[in-house]
Amino acid sequence: MKIIKYPNQSEQQTLLSRPTQEKQNVDNAVQSIIEQVKEKGDDALYAFAKAYDQAQLSSLKVSREEIATAENLVSDELKTAIKTAYNNIYKFHKACYTREYPVIETMPGITCWRKSLPIQKVGLYIPGGSAPLFSTVLMLAIPAQIAGNERVVLCSPTDASGAINPVVLYTANLCGVTKIYKAGGAGAVAAMTYGTDSIPAVDKIFGPGNAFVTRAKELAQQAGVAIDMPAGPSEVLVIADKNANPEYVAADLLAQAEHGPDSQVILLTDSLKLTEKVNEEVISQLSTLSRKRTANQALENSKAIVLNNLEDCVRWSDAYAPEHLIINTDNADELASKIKIAGSIFIGPYTCESLGDYASGTNHTLPTYGYARNYSGVSVDSFVNKVTYQKATRQGIQNLGPAVELMAQAEGLDAHKNAVSVRIKNVE
């Protein structure tokens, strides 16, 4: 990692910039994929499976038999671990969700309230490839299960034999998702946006993916289908002091770097000595990783920045707006209370990001690329619409009506005023 020592405030924006993303080629490819899905439906998805996954599919929908077979391919030890994660995630998300809100009488005769209603149709995209993210199934399907969405559709790419990763299928079934389809990349997003003979269209699409999936989701939003959040490459920022264990810090940085070559990891510290030790540990641990090539590419976009004090580290962290923020300092709780912007915060030397990625209970679908400034991570609230209600009695229209009449008249909206006036006239 490149070490930057005591930079000026004027250098902050440059040093905290994220890797630029090539968009034009991605745009052209995704537009083409979407048009093919709109025009050819299932046939386009079969062609994409053959072209991108070398899979000759006879059906897009995963059968009950395939789900049952997948369960037998997952070890009992892994099933137990997944169930542990399931229980923690369900417990946390259920506790944080409010379905019914109190009824408020804003004035005599006028009552207002709010209620959470499940979005009718949601789509979950689960990446495949070299790291099939079955953990993402938990992060998306459990909130959907709690919300009670009427239809939950899951799409994921296959291997060359035409099979979705068995752990993905097992986890989906554990979470009650049975409408599972063999479709990957931008084609899967297009199918959930516009619908095909096999894959139904949905109202909102969730899930991570590469630049093609991300762009397809952006275009789905333009077509009237909601998405969980804008996305960029995954990232972590670590704030560490002189007493932090450099082995822990290096491990946290590499855990994020192995996600992809475009991931970014940043270390903020007030200790040059720690930075040098962390760099040594990064080199040592990198050599042992199965995905060391990917992690090494990510480290090219990453840096360690030495600042004057931990307060500066907090300010620089807020300026960066990290997806994941790890605070590994003696006063970690105090620093965490000062953070204003982050997707998810991990406090103390033993709280590695991996806990949140898999099983602590929080969600790992988080805003990246600085979107933590204005977006929240996925929760049950992401899967519902919050609908407001109001009710006026005869007393209520008499009490509030005159004020509304005056306001409507001042805006020149006579029909608005009249809707109140005709009622007041009949209750007097």
The side-by-side arrangement of strands in the sheet containing 235-240 is 2-5, 303-306, 264-269, 235-240, 324-328, 344-347
Separation of CA 381 from chain center: 12
Instruction: Say which of 323, 334, 364, 428 is annotated catalytic.
Output: 323
Closest CA to 331 of 309, 361, 315: 309
How far, in Å, CA of 194 to CA of 35, rounded? Answer: 10
Instruction: Say which of 324, 353, 364, 428 is annotated catalytic.
Output: 324
Given a contact cutoff of 8 angstroms between Cβ atoms, the answer to whether 190 and 199 are in contact is: no
Is 145 annotated to bind a ligand? Reply is: no
List, in order, residues 6 or more apart from 363 with CB less than 8 Å away: 89, 93, 139, 143, 344, 377, 378, 379
Given a contact cutoff of 8 angstroms between Cβ atoms, the answer to whether 52 and 209 are in contact is: no
How far, in Å, CA of 124 to CA of 140, rounded? Answer: 7
Is 324 annotated to bind a ligand? Reply is: yes
Separation of CA 61 from chain center: 25
Is 357 annotated to bind a ligand? Reply is: yes
Q: In Å, how far are 48, 83, 139, 159, 280 from 64, measured between CA atoms?
A: 24, 21, 23, 19, 50
Q: Based on the residue annotation, tell me whether 323 is a catalytic residue of this protein.
A: yes
Q: Based on the residue annotation, tell me whether 324 is a catalytic residue of this protein.
A: yes
Amino acid at 250: A
How big is the chain by its Cα radius of gyration, in Å? 25
Q: For residue 386, what is the enclosing H or E element?
A: strand 384-392
Closest CA to 239 of 318, 139, 292, 185: 318
Is 234 annotated to bind a ligand? Reply is: yes
Active site residues: 323-324
Q: From the annotation, which residues make up the binding site for Zn(2+)? A: 256, 259, 357, 416
Q: From the annotation, which residues make up the binding site for substrate? A: 234, 256, 259, 324, 357, 411, 416
Q: From the annotation, which residues make up the binding site? A: 234, 256, 259, 324, 357, 411, 416
